[in-house]
Amino acid sequence: EPEVTQTPSHQVTQMGQEVILRCVPISNHLYFYWYRQILGQKVEFLVSFYNNEISEKSEIFDDQFSVERPDGSNFTLKIRSTKLEDSAMYFCASTRRTGAGEQYFGPGTRLTVT
């Protein structure tokens, strides 16, 4: 069964450093998402991406964040200058259809900012 994959599984970085989180969505999916989950809290939407551009983003997704689909398979989330409060699990998701379409989530990347 196809699945969303994410690397690395755990990333430790110092405050102020740039990080890139990587995702490989399911191959025939067209819509891509990043969510985050701070420890013990609910999953929060960050950004959706379709047709090589951002289609929607949340208030969390400020100028420090960017997304890119550099080739036909990878989907990346970059945080330019990490802050302590960026520490969270980051989940990538994808779906074939927007709106009423099941989103498949990856296993997540645990980001720890020290």
Partner 1 sequence: GESVGLHLPTLSVQEGDNSIINCAYSNSASDYFIWYKQESGKGPQFIIDIRSNMDKRQGQRVTVLLNKTVKHLSLQIAATQPGDSAVYFCAENIDTSYGKLTFGQGTILTVHP
Q: Residue 112 interacts with partner 1 (CB under 8 A)?
A: no
User: Exactly one of 25, 34, 87, 106 binds partner 1 (CB under 8 A); which one?
Assistant: 106
- Cα–Cα distances (Å) from 98 to 47, 68, 102, 111, in that order, read 13, 19, 9, 27
Name residues contacting partner 1, limited to 10-69 (CB under 8 A). 31, 33, 35, 38-45, 48, 50, 55-56, 58
Number of residues counted as binding partner 1 (CB under 8 A): 31
Q: Residue 75 interacts with partner 1 (CB under 8 A)?
A: no
Task: Give 59: exposed, middle or buried? Use CB within 10 Å, 0-12, 13-18, 19+.
Answer: exposed
In angstroms, the CA 43 to CA 53 distance is 23
- Least distance to partner 1 from the beta carbon of 32, Å? 9
